[in-house]
Amino acid sequence: MPKDNRSFFERLTGSYNAEENESVSTNYSGSSPRVSGTEDEEAEPVEEGQLTIDVYQTPTDIIVQAFVAGIRPDELEISITQDMITLRGKREDIRKIERENFFYQELYWGSFSRSILLPQEVDADKADAAVKGGILTIKLPKIDKGRVQKLKIKGE
């Protein structure tokens, strides 16, 4: 198996410099770049890309933001547990451009996923998500472990 000589950024985003790297081919049907072998070799499984994200907190919430331009909201899958969130989807490239016509190809097309271990437990049932200007914002209410709930005992 040939060694993948792409930079960390290129492997993370699925991009490559078309002028510098002749050994990389791209499946323009929506798959990320992969190292080419001979035509007779069976195709290797294509790796998923990772979304770039911001995760921050407010006093009451954990906020996750991701750049999802070019993806319809119904094409995104968001799975939340108390301590983890996973985003999955696929960004389709409908262009049919020959490889030799690219000078640079840095936009990521194809399947992607990102799992994030959350810094604090959240209430998954009360989570909220919205897309505005190509930015997905997920609001995850924190679970207040310091809050004490008193229980009253009913008499007969």
pLDDT of 72-110, one tens digit each? 888 899 999 988 999 999 888 778 888 888 888 777 788
135 versus 38: the higher-pLDDT residue is 135
pLDDT of 35-49, one tens digit each? 334 444 455 555 678
Identify the CATH class of 8-141: mainly beta
Nearest Cα to Cα of residue 111 among 84, 129, 87, 132: 87
The angle formed by the CA atoms of residues 48, 50 and 55, to the nearest 5 degrees, is 155
**Mean pLDDT score of the chain, rounded to an integer?**
76
37 versus 53: the higher-pLDDT residue is 53
Contact 112, 48 (CB under 8 A): yes
70 versus 148: the higher-pLDDT residue is 70
The domain ranges of the chain are 8-141
